[in-house]
Structure 1
């Protein structure tokens, strides 16, 4: 069997000569210099991978979106989340196969650039970076709302100048999380693991009580409104809005270069996180709409779940949801900042961004320049305070990447290069990847027009950057 691209990359050898097909490596002088430098350490295990996936996805889906989603689609918002979960699963399977064959930092960018060519990889890679930036900004705005809600619960009203308090708090949290990530991936992963364990324990308790309450076990049976109370079309437009909730599984792939035993842990982390989180989303919408009804729930906005907790369990319930909301939005932002920096790192190693961006801090073993390039734009977007636009632009850019991941799997399976030896093989090829690609693109059609325009502009600028800066870059393994 031919040497895998990962083995060669780890040893710093240039794969040429006798191999019938070259492994996926950059051949520019600049990129080769990077390969001979410091590598990221594999410090994240299965629990850490699941924590990144679940911790990123559980935040927006449960603590920011229920009110917004119920206002748009009524109780059928549960179906919107289910649609998002199915699409995510259809992409998580091909992404898992590609990741076990190419477990390198960069995730979708790395897969696509090695399967579909440098130009496509550059557009997706730059889009992934900015998509994660939009997602992280969205999570930080949600975090700011929850901090304000916690303070108001204890009678403290903030006045932090002309900017809304939740925006200021989101900016502070973004700067702090970027600094934390610079101090080491192992520290960040340990924090993520602890947050997710506490978060799931709180949610399981509150949602179990909510289900029993809705079923009348405690003497207060309540039934949600008519399922399609807002009609059928809003189900799909809401699915497009809330798809930001499912970006976490792909973020596991962006840190694949730091995952221990990637052949086993990558598929388990990506597929497992989608399944776990989808169940939590559907149950949450059922409990929330059973408690208040969709119309009233929508009036509560980004912190609707606090009111659900208070109605179910009184003041302790509100406190539990506030704590969980803080943890969830914090972990989502934390994982997004980490993943955005790894996308920049991967682009720089391939000479699609300046070499400086892939420098590793020798003390902490982290790409400190890439982290700064992720954190800076995030803070700018947090200041806009545009929750729904931030969410949909992040979804748009990821959906484009997801569709191309499915196509990449079909292409690499058809060409079967010598270096391609995944430890996990997706079932149902070519039908399921084709459905995943089509579903990903179709969901974009139901987005807000402004979000689509912003996403297209970002892709056009990414292509312009590629032509201006890196048009002569060629990657081995272009198929």
Structure 2
């Protein structure tokens, strides 16, 4: 096959996303999963110690965000981790990671949309429009139906311009941060006994310390947002400045929010109780501390947060697909850019279509862990790619940001990323391996022999 072009035959994307937009793509994605979907699942496994699980995830994410920020300022192109790895480690690892990244983001998008359906159904139940026993009635069910409709609408919104996605993210994330600041302050003061009797738990890890690492593997989906910023790098203005600020800043901000939220949630309810609450456990937490008014606000916030997460993930998955197609590793149609709106409309349509099909499965934990599996492979290889590129010193490599603590930081980040995969449930590991093998098979069938140009 012929050598591919880095610019892609379908056209270039418009740079329309500023620092605030980049931050909200990362922060909005991570808040949706970590705070509005995972507290019941995580605290149900580990109790208050689930806060440590999120802290472990934050450390690993930061150890990857630093090398990724250096690579992103040297290669501010669509595809993010795929682009870095393909230029650092070669076409086969790049193709496997690129396909895995696209699939992982679609799995994550579906996971967020199922959470969105849960919140929409909970709002209807709270308003007595439906009762909880009828939520799943019908050939599809109310929960996935809401997710499917939202997925279609978000895809259409993205097709009509990236600035639409940025505007939605900025508004939603600003509102969410204000709500969370108030909610966590009030519930935290109550928990500590400042406003009454202390509710601190007698046992920090009622189920032992074993579940901490398995829970960290489950909830790592919460930290996928910073990598999504790199995936849309070609849409970001002033990438030398805005990419590292957005990637590192979003991890630190949401990491603090996660730890506080999970400690409060795990301290308020017993693991068996909060685990049974499922994806909307944060609603019951609001009911406990703020009453009905708090429930209404958190239900609205949860709906917006899951919209935000799904919105950013669909956008990022389409850009990963666009990057693969630009390099001729996928059919060139995915790299076509709509002349009027400056967006890869065919890539977005494909991503949105597959995502809504996945929503119908409703398997939230499996969707989340498979997304984490595929991203952890990419994160580990990003760290390896930085070391390889630094040792090779290609003429085009001139990053505006350099990873502090090199080479220790990328080495630890890579080892930690690969190690966390070992703590996932066997089904997620199996599905993840199958998807990686399918990506290898696609490369051997379609893309073997393609030689990628260097970045510049």
Report the TM-score when normalising by structure 2. Answer: 0.97
What is the distance in 1 between the residues matched to 2:363 and 2:276? 18
What is the distance in 1 between the residues matched to 2:64 and 2:71? 11
What is the distance in 2 between the residues matched to 1:298 and 1:368? 40
Aligned to 2:227: 250
Aligned to 2:287: 310
1:442 equivalenced with 2:419 (yes/no): yes
What is the distance in 2 between the residues matched to 1:431 and 1:389? 33
What is the distance in 1 between the residues matched to 2:350 and 2:139? 27
Contact residue 409 and residue 433 of structure 1 kept, 8 A: yes
Which stretches in structure 2 are left out of the alignment for 5+ residues? none
Contact residue 251 and residue 339 of structure 1 kept, 8 A: yes
What is the distance in 2 between the residues matched to 1:49 and 1:30? 29
Shift of 1:311: 1.1
1:167 equivalenced with 2:140 (yes/no): no
What is the distance in 1 between the residues matched to 2:358 and 2:28? 21
1:370 equivalenced with 2:347 (yes/no): yes
* SS across alignment from 1:425: coil
What is the distance in 2 between the residues matched to 1:345 and 1:53? 19
* SS across alignment from 2:196: coil
Shift of 1:37: 5.0
Aligned to 1:85: 58
1:189-225 CA distances to partner (integer Å, 9 max, x unpaired)?
1110100000000001000001111111211320124
What is the distance in 2 between the residues matched to 1:289 and 1:425? 38
User: Quick one: structure 1 residues 287 and 425, their matched pair in 2 at CA, closer, same or farther if it must change by over 3 Å?
Assistant: same
Contact residue 57 and residue 277 of structure 1 kept, 8 A: yes
Aligned to 1:11: none
Aligned to 1:277: 254
What is the distance in 1 between the residues matched to 2:218 and 2:8? 39
What is the distance in 1 between the residues matched to 2:227 and 2:256? 18
1:272-318 CA distances to partner (integer Å, 9 max, x unpaired)?
00000000001001221232233322221111110110111111110
Aligned match for 1:100, one of 56, 73, 79: 73
What is the distance in 2 between the residues matched to 1:449 and 1:217? 44
1:221 equivalenced with 2:194 (yes/no): no
Shift of 1:320: 1.3
Shift of 1:35: 3.9
Contact residue 113 and residue 147 of structure 2 kept, 8 A: yes
Aligned to 1:203: 180
Contact residue 4 and residue 453 of structure 2 kept, 8 A: no
RMSD: 1.4
Report the TM-score when normalising by structure 1. Answer: 0.92
Aligned to 1:131: 104
What is the distance in 2 between the residues matched to 1:220 and 1:147? 34
1:37-94 CA distances to partner (integer Å, 9 max, x unpaired)?
5210110000000000000001110011111111111111000000000000000000
